[in-house]
Amino acid sequence: MSRLVFVISMFFLPLSEAAVAQANPEKTVGAEAVAEIGPDESGNWRVEYTFDTPQKVLAFARSESDYRDATWFVEGDGVRFGRVAGADVIVFDDPSRTVAFSLIPLTNKPEADYTPFVTFGDGGLAIHEGQFSLIPFESRDAVEALDGDLSAAEVPQLPMTVRLSSDKPIIVDGETYQGQVEHRLEGDGTYIYMGDSAIESFDSFTAILDRTLPEWLQSRFDSDLEAIFAGLEARWGFGLEDKASVMLAFKEGRSDGFSATGEALDQLLMMEVGGKDLAEPGFDTLSYLQWFFAHEAIHLFQKQRGVGFAGGGEAWIHEGAANTMAYSLIADMVGPEDGPKFLSGVYANAFETCVGALEKGSLETAQERGDASAHYACGDFIALATDGFLPRRSLYDFWNRLTTLAAANDKTQVDADLYFSTVQLLGVRRSQRDMLREIVEEELDNPRKALTDLLDAAGLDPQFNDKDQLIKLNWPDYSAE
């Protein structure tokens, strides 16, 4: 019951703030911005910004990826738009209260960012409002001085209201609107959905499901996800403060196989699945999908204390742990017969992926080499080894300490320094910690041996077949927690 109340109050807060800002613009502190978005006649989208005080220079808060270079076009004279020192920057000839763009909606996931526009097979669309967020600057030089690290800007992003009109129902923060919505953009922003799906409510979460989702998947989605959330609550030792909301988009596609991508925002999981193999149920597809749902749900638990994730070279921290936790949960869910088979398969793969990546350079530079999968694969083993080194073997306790410490120290992200100091704080010896660090930081001569030695030292007893494939580990067992 208390959950329901919390959801409702969460929803009223942003709306009433937006209303105040509009009614009394002169009473708000700092500049206020409104971003009015919608499709134009050509099928492109348009965003028109209005500011209550004239702006000189603005940078897009989410600028890590350079996709806007090829997809966003500024309208009118007296304004220039382009890439400056790793950021998308708007420069006005004279201070201005408006600027507008025509944009081609990007429906793929850019490197290091959320998918800006997620298309659903049934015609629905979800828009990541964070893509519109702007940071004000005094000059172009001030942007350049940050050298792409906009989180170091002196001034926060402009307080912004996103206004969207649609002839389809609009859903945001678990509420449905007709015609128009004004939504207050907070932090990274959330997804605003427009389409014909309704919100479905379950015990642990609400969902917006693509109506073209295959019947077998549709029919078991809620019970699978309930089981995943229940398992995670038991392992983490707490439940999510308010219900998670899930959006699941499906694209049938023409290609064989299947694909799944996802992102975890504050309380929202945005997941896209597709491919021909999803047409019929099968053990591999199903266990993969369950693993994928679990992995994304674990990100919500990792973020529950308000601490975000470090990106770039430190993605192994959250991705590796989420993978390892998800694998063990799914192994328990599929039962004592299939569980070990499942684990052998996924870890044999991860071992080869990790070794392959480390043969080309260190883990912390893998992303720069375009090898983001190394963070999942090697991160798996770092998480397993961390668990093995801990005197009280529990990756969940470790993460609870990690995020509690991060929150207590006002850190916005869990980073490698905090990871390694927490490892030691919980009783892992310096020599053991150094073995973990070596996998992250060093360019290894023999990654296969280094990784095997790490697993050995952590008591995981790795076993290989005569083709040198990893076939068995002393997997941690969390089923009793």
Query: Residues interacting with Zn ion, by CB under 5 A?
Result: 319
- Is 136 strand, coil or helix? strand
**Closer to Zn ion by Cβ: residue 101 or 309:** 309
Supply the minimum distance, in Å, between the C-beta of residue 299 and Zn ion. 6
H or E, element range at 436: helix 430-441
**Best CA proximity match to 99, nearest among 150, 133, 143, 51:** 51
Q: Which is nearer to Zn ion, 90 or 357 (by Cβ)? A: 357
Any idea of the CA torsion for 285, 291, 295, 298, to the nearest 10 degrees?
140
Question: Which CB sits closer to Zn ion, 210 or 319?
Answer: 319
Q: Are 74 and 51 in contact (CB under 8 A)?
A: no
Shortest separation between residue 52's beta carbon and Zn ion, angstroms: 38
Q: Which is nearer to Zn ion, 88 or 272 (CB)?
A: 272
> Which positions ≥6 away from 410 have C-beta within 8 Å?
none
Say how far apart CA 382 and CA 374 lie, in whole Å.
Answer: 11
We find the least distance from the C-beta atom of residue 312 to Zn ion, in angstroms, to be: 14
Least distance (Å) between residue 294 CB and Zn ion = 11
Q: Which is nearer to Zn ion, 104 or 372 (CB)?
A: 372
Element (H, E) at 443: none
Q: Which tokens belong to 462?
A: 């790795």
User: Nearest distance from residue 147's CB to Zn ion, in Å?
Assistant: 27
Terminal CA-CA length for the chain: 25
Nearest approach in angstroms of CB 322 to Zn ion is 5
How far is the C-alpha of 203 from the C-alpha of 222, rounded, in Å?
9
Residue type, 481: E
For Zn ion, the closer CB: 302 or 422: 302
CB of 361 to Zn ion, least distance (A): 22
Q: Which residue has the tokens 């120290």?
A: 409
Residue with Cβ nearer Zn ion (103 or 366): 366
Half-sphere exposure for 256 (CA within 13 Å, toward CB)? 0
From CA 287, how far away is CA 149, in angstroms rounded?
A: 39
